[in-house]
Amino acid sequence: MKLVEVLGTGCAKCVKTAESIERVASELGVDVKVVKETDPARIMEYQVMSTPGVAVDGKVVHSGSIPHREQIVSWLQG
Amino acid sequence: MLEIFTLLANWLSYDVIGLSPDTRLGASVHFFIEDTTKILFLLVAMIYVIALIRASLNLERVRAYIQRRNRFAGYLFGSGFGAITPFCSCSSIPLFLGFTSAGIPLGITMAFLFTSPIINEVAVIMLWGLLGWKFTLAYVVVGMAVGMIGGLLLDTLRGERWLKDFAAKAYQKAAAEVEAGTGTIEVPDAPRLTFSERHQFAKQELAEIVGRIWKWVLIGVGLGAALHGFVPDNWFAANLGSGQWWNVPAAVVAGLPLYSNATGVIPVMESLIMKGLPVGTTLAFCMSTVAASFPEFVMLKQVMTFRLLLLIFVILLANFMVVGWVINLVGPWLMVGH
């Protein structure tokens, strides 16, 4: 199972990001756990400066915007 | 070229709606139509062009640039990049920590965060269109000065002592590494973008920014229009005295509980100035409304102790007052040629 963390201090875009990842995952039938990480100290450890950021299994794959559908598909299937 | 919007407003308010320019309502409606059409036109055109140019500017590169400067150039760069770098206010905290954990001094990071809400392309475009280039220039200089002086004071008072623990530790570790010459961040290469990628970015920026601010433009211009039509000329001079010293602190205090972004407050500034409120007093009011906002302070509470927040608050207020007094002294020059 993949662990997807959405990094952000609670902005509207972070919520949308988490929702769209969950939606794409259920469409593809991929088993994921999506967590919203709002702790500033954790976000700092990931060195993400523009939110929302996305980390898959502990590795940052994206930051600064709501990801496109194709990007999400590639993380989930990669 | 911008006269076309005056003509459009003349035609719509006097000929189509049939109002008289001598009535209060007529003056208000004319102001509203002229300013909303002009501002929205300028915004759409300019945001797109500016976004094309800055598509390859990202926070990681900005951070690396700032980290390489010595302290004093650092305040200038911090404040300057704060003005031109696009970022959402909900990213303040990750940005703050990203800078801090790269060993960038607190004052330089705060110079970035102080200046950022005051100066942005939307504010500059609106000021230019409404109040002329001299005023725009003064606004930019003042906004950067507030950031740089605020940052310098914070570092002089060693504000980093009052960061929350985890942030203070990350800063000390990185600052020691930078000092030893091992922790410098390489400037990442500018992403090479094709024109169509830039166009794509600019289109998204345009939709995002206009979607976010159009209602502020309407509210701001609406308030400005109401002031314009219904407050008699020179009302401020008659009731507040023109430019007595206590006007400036009064304006700063009045601006505090109000929270607006620059977009909403600039049309109001235009009206206030036209009604005879001194320029420095108006600017002090505007800065206080835009730059000292409670939502921002609540966010910063996650990484700062109460003491540091209080210090920042006091520094900001003092800065706004100094700005008001200084600009009131040079104010008459600013409005020449408007």
- What's the pLDDT tens digit per position in B235-288? 777 776 666 788 889 888 888 877 777 888 888 888 888 888 888 898 899 888
Tokens of B231: 């407050």
- Which residue from B94, B166, B303 is facing A48, i.e. has the nearest CB? B94
Number of domains chain A contains: 1
Instruction: Please indicate if any CB of chain B lies within 8 Å of the CB of A6.
Output: no
Identify whether the C-beta of residue B315 lies closer than 8 Å to the C-beta of residue B148.
no
Name the percent of chain A in helix, strand, coil, to the closest 5. Answer: 40, 25, 30
Q: Is A14 a catalytic residue?
A: yes
Does the residue B207 lie in any domain? yes
Instruction: Give the pair of three-digit tokens for residue B106.
Output: 């607190």
- In degrees and rounded to multiples of 5, residue A7 shows phi and psi of -95, 125
Q: Which two tokens stand for residue A20?
A: 């769209």
Reply yes or no on whether A61 is catalytic. Answer: no
- HEC string of A24-50 equals HHHHHCCCEEEEEECCHHHHHHCCCCC
pLDDT, residue B151, reads 94
What is the span of the domain harbouring residue A50?
2-77
Q: Using an 8 Å Cβ cutoff, are B224 and B31 in contact?
A: yes
A48 touches chain B (CB under 8 A): yes
In a domain, B255, yes or no: yes
Tell the burial category of B158 from Cβ atoms under 10 Å away from its Cβ (0-12, 13-18, 19+): exposed
Q: Does A26 touch chain B (CB under 8 A)?
A: no
Residues of chain B in contact with residue A15, where contact means CB-CB under 8 angstroms, are none
Cβ of B101 and A47 within 8 Å? yes
Question: Nearest residue on chain A to B62, judged by CA atoms?
Answer: A49
Please report whether residue B14 resides in a domain: no
Could you tell me the two tokens for B257? 């509980």
Full residue range of the structural domain in which residue B115 is found: 20-335
Q: Which of A11, A12, A28, A35 is catalytic?
A: A11
**What's the pLDDT at B243?**
62
Which residue among B91, B98, B166 places its CB closest to the CB of A47? B98
- Distance between CA atoms of A61 and A25, rounded to whole angstroms? 16
pTM of the model: 0.82
Query: What confidence tens digit (pLDDT) does each residue in B168-218 have?
Result: 999 998 888 887 777 666 767 767 788 888 898 889 889 988 888 888 889
Domain assignment present for B4:
no
Taking CB atoms and an 8 Å limit, are A49 and B94 in contact across chains?
A: yes
**Inter-chain CB proximity B90 and A47 less than 8 Å:** no
Q: With respect to residue B48, please indicate whether it lies within any of the assigned structural domains.
A: yes
Number of structural domains (chain B) is 1
pLDDT for residue A51:
82
- Residue in B closest to A13 by C-alpha: B90
Rg of the Cα atoms in chain B: 21
Cβ neighbors of B154 (< 8 A, separation 6 or more) are B106, B107, B110, B311, B312, B315
